[in-house]
Chain A
Amino acid sequence: MRIALFVTCLADTLFPEAAKATVRLLERLGHEVVFPAGQTCCGQMHVNTGYQAEALKLVRRHVRVFDPYDVIVTPSGSCAGSVRHQHATVARRAGDERLAEEAGQVGRRTYELSELLVDVLGVTDVGAYYPHRVTYHPTCHSLRMVGVGDRPLRLLRAVRGLELVELPEAGQCCGFGGTFAVKNADVSTAMLADKMRHVLATGAEVCTAGDASCLMHIGGGLSRLRTGVRTVHLAEILASTETGGTAAAPGITTAGNSSGPAHTGEKP
């Protein structure tokens, strides 16, 4: 199948390993991945901060760039949610019914990674190998906006060598919320503290999720406290194989921290 990758601005700029892993994984499963170069950002940050006029441009760009593709995948529940549930609303609010219509169609063809794998490609065992103790945080937008349900868990359970431990109070927000984390930094930190407490209680070595943004938040906190627990995007775990190396290897850490391998030479 020919699949267009909507990489998201965050993964493109700061967490390319999650995006590369998405490509490797899909190619390993025998699919063709294309990367429409005109893509930038879905505009979610603008929408959620109140800048809809600015977001409108980005919605228009996104729709134009992805309109030619039948199947679009993104390694982010949040950006999938934005494309599916916000784009048409932004267009409609600006009085552009035609764009709203087109945005709706692109949204319906856009899948979060675990949805694409389980629902469209029909696989739960992707042939991955990842010998680590892992806990999964279902990000709010994966869980409630996109509704991925237990798909990520089913995928993780099929990974060889992986010991999956349940995260207590898993459904509670980690406190990221985009600009919420800076506008309401104190409340956000209080939420993060509880999320970290639960992650640490699992004794896991790795906390995974389907969103680089929430992992950046949780990972940033875990790193600051030198907890020795790192965050790794779901795609990186699923892309890991016995022969191809795993995300524990240098260079594939997502929101790395002091315990994770530094691959830039900078000592944290």
Chain B
Amino acid sequence: MTAARRTFLGMPALAPRGVGHLRGEEPFPAAARRALADTQLRRNLGHATATIRAKSGAVIGEVPDWQELRAAGSAVKAAAMARLPELLEQLEAAVTAAGGTVHWAADAAEANRIVTGLVRATGQDRVIKVKSMATQEIGLNEALEEAGITPVETDLAELIVQLGDDRPSHILVPAIHRNRAEIREIFLRAMPGVDPALRGEPAALAGAARAYLRRTFLETKVAISGANFAVAETGTLAVVESEGNGRMCLTLPETLITVMGIEKVIPSWQDLEVFLQLLPRASTGERMNPYTSMWTGVTPGDGPQSFHLVLLDNGRTAVLADEIGRQALHCIRCSACLNVCPVYERTGGHAYGSVYPGPIGAVLSPQLTGVEDNASLPYASSLCGACFDACPVKIDIPSILVHLRARHVEEQRERRKVPTAEAATMAAAAYVMDHPGLYAAAQRAARLSRLAGRRGRGLPPPLSGWTAARDLPEPPPQTFRDWWEKRGSTDEQP
């Protein structure tokens, strides 16, 4: 019956190819290069991330025990992941007892099949959606459209992305790459029944979206949501949002279908206390989240009378199997790591290819798909560590990045008969550096070779990437080692 039990036999499956949005079409450096040239994108992102950083930093500064809270969040997640199968079954029992129905989806294809079937069974051809990363991940909207069902996104930013026929570029603010003028154009072009005299002020744009969405809320009988948390002990699901659209979707329709990654389960109601303090401050820079909706199964005469919970694996069990990488499952999708990331700030989310951009995306996507399907992502970081400092659940993203780079190199080594040029260089360098005599000789050789000049003319890629914008250092006349030897006080040793 349970996919969780099934997936613990043998090697856990990865997220399948050909469905969903976890793989990009080109390597990160190529996609990033294009993004860097988009001046509008650079301005929009630079402004938006700086604003969120300042706001979040200020409210985090108000909490004297922020570090303790982070430690608590991290510990709760680690403990939950350590007994995930048990918690999921507890959750299933509690949701079922409260009148809901639980479905287990091993991967994106199965989840899409389940949800499409459930909507079809209601006889409806339109659903309203609460912003959800899980449904983006599995490409649910495309699957619904293929089945003749129209999904309507109700989160403002997600609606902008949907109407603009665009892809989300941020976990929390999917349209962070758009500014007002662009949003106005999208609304005028694609929003049903929009006032042609629509103006570009934020209030006018929000008003137009509100008018359109109100009608849709009242006329639609099925809603699809994700979940921020699921409490195993009580079977309670929680969605946190800022606009109230989620509250409408979760309460007005007759049928509610929730798609949730299996890592969202937490043991007890009390654990919510920690996360509901961490999430808003790290995420939107608010002290308290504006709309926190919680529901447990079905309440007769109040809210949706039919509730389905789809538990999604799609590679998560494989992540759990990696001792270092599994921390990525602790993520509460606050997006703080994106907002502080100097790479994300300049490239935006699309360059990462996957729906999960930024630092968390760089460690999560390659683990869900298998490192080789997203091999450039672990390298899409200068390892500056800003993400680790910002993460409210203390995920050591730099260490996971380094670990995934090693997994990539190891997989390459297994697959290829002939090592890559990089692997050969690295092996040679390590050999030389493990032999101080050779090392000193190599240093002298490096010092003498001035052929390239400071501008590095004639250097091959990838080294030419350096000299395209930077001079090389001037080789000194003498290494430190030689200077020290001439002073005559070396501590001789093997």
A interface with B by C-beta (< 8 Å): 4, 7, 9, 11-17, 19-20, 23, 34-41, 43, 45-52, 54-55, 57-58, 61, 64-65, 86, 89, 93, 140-141, 143-145, 171-173, 175-192, 216-217, 219-221, 223-224, 255-257, 262-264, 266, 268
Partner of B29, one of A17, A141, A186: A186
B389's nearest neighbour on chain A, judged by CB, is A144
User: What residues of B have a CB within 8 angstroms of the CB of A48 in the complex?
Assistant: 383, 402, 405
User: How far apart are B31's CB and chain A's nearest CB, in angstroms?
Assistant: 10
Closest to B490 in A: A37
6 interchain pairs (CB within 8 A)?
A: A16-B479, A39-B436, A48-B405, A50-B405, A93-B324, A173-B384
B36 and A187 within 8 A (CB): yes
**Extra 4 A-B pairs, beta carbons < 8 Å, given A17-B476, A141-B385, A143-B385:** A34-B491, A173-B342, A186-B465, A221-B469
Contact status A51-B426, CB under 8 Å: yes
For residue A1, give the distance in angstroms from its CB to the closest CB of chain B.
15
Would you give the shortest CB distance from A64 to chain B, in whole angstroms?
7
- B194 at interface (Cβ–Cβ under 8 A)? no
Q: Measured between C-beta atoms, what is the minimum distance from B50 to chain A in Å? A: 9
B148: interface (CB < 8 Å):
no
**In the complex, which residue of chain B has the Cβ closest to the Cβ of A32?**
B489
Given the complex, which residues of A lie within 8 Å of B382, measured CB to CB? 140, 173, 175-177, 180-181, 184, 188, 191
Contact B469 A43 (CB under 8 A): no
The residue of chain A having its C-beta at the shortest distance from the C-beta of B443 within the complex is A13
Chain A nearest CB from B185 CB (Å) reads 27
Of the listed residues A48, A61, A141, A217, the one surrounded by the most CB atoms of chain B closer than 10 A to its CB is: A48
Main secondary structure of the interface of A (DSSP, over half): helix
Known contacts A16-B480, A54-B427, A140-B385, A191 near B433 by CB under 8 Å: no
| Chain B residue nearest in CB terms to A257 | B471
**CB distance A40 to B434 under 8 Å?**
yes
Closest to A13 in B: B443
Once bound together, how far apart are the Cα atoms of A142 and B403, in whole Å? Answer: 21
Decide yes or no whether B218 CB sits under 8 A from chain A: no
- Which of B243-251, B269-277, B446-454 is the interface stretch? B446-454
**A4 touching B380, Cβ below 8 Å:** no
When the two chains form their complex, are residues A140 and B386 in contact, meaning their CB atoms are under 8 A apart? yes
Does B418 touch A at the CB level, under 8 Å?
Answer: no
Q: Give the distance to chain B from A260, nearest Cβ to Cβ, in Å.
A: 9
Question: Is A183 a contact of B480 with CB atoms below 8 Å?
Answer: no
Q: Across the interface, which residues of A come within 8 angstroms of B389, CB to CB?
A: 144
Contact B346 A187 (CB under 8 A): yes
Q: Is the interface of B mostly helix, strand, loop or mixed?
A: helix
What is the CA–CA distance of A176 and B403 in the complex, to the nearest angstrom?
20
Binding site for A on B (CB under 8 A): 28-29, 32-33, 36, 324, 342-343, 346-347, 378-386, 388-389, 399, 402-403, 405-410, 422-423, 426-427, 429-430, 433-434, 436, 439, 443, 446-447, 450, 453-455, 462-463, 465-466, 468-481, 483-484, 489-494
Task: Tell me whether B384 and A140 are in contact (CB under 8 A).
Answer: yes
Closest chain-B Cβ to A51's Cβ sits at a distance in Å of: 4
- Which 5 pairs show the lowest CB-CB distances between chains A and B? A177-B382, A185-B465, A220-B470, A50-B405, A54-B430
Instruction: Indicate if the CB atoms of A192 and B491 lie closer than 8 Å.
Output: no
Q: Are B466 and A185 in contact (CB under 8 A)?
A: yes
Across the interface, do B493 and A37 meet the contact criterion of CB distance under 8 Å? yes
Known A-B contacts A15-B476, A186-B36, A187-B346; the reply to A89 vs B399 at CB < 8 A is yes
- Do A16 and B478 touch across chains, with their CB atoms under 8 A apart? yes
Q: How many angstroms between the C-alpha atoms of A147 and B343 in the bound complex?
A: 22
Bound Cα distance A34, B489 (Å): 7
> How long is the Cα–Cα vector from A141 to B454 in the complex, in angstroms?
27
Instruction: Report B361 CB to chain A, min CB distance, Å.
Output: 15
A177 with B383, Cβ < 8 A, contacts A55-B430, A224-B470 known? yes
Within 8 Å by CB of A13, from B447, B472, B493, lies B447
Contact yes or no, B469 A189, CB < 8 A: yes
| Beta-carbon contact of B480 and A65 below 8 Å | no
Instruction: Out of A51, A177, A257, name the residue touching B384 (CB < 8 Å).
Output: A177
A36 contacts which chain B residues (CB < 8 A)?
491, 493
Contact A12 B406 (CB under 8 A): no
CB distance from A246 to the nearest CB of B (A): 18
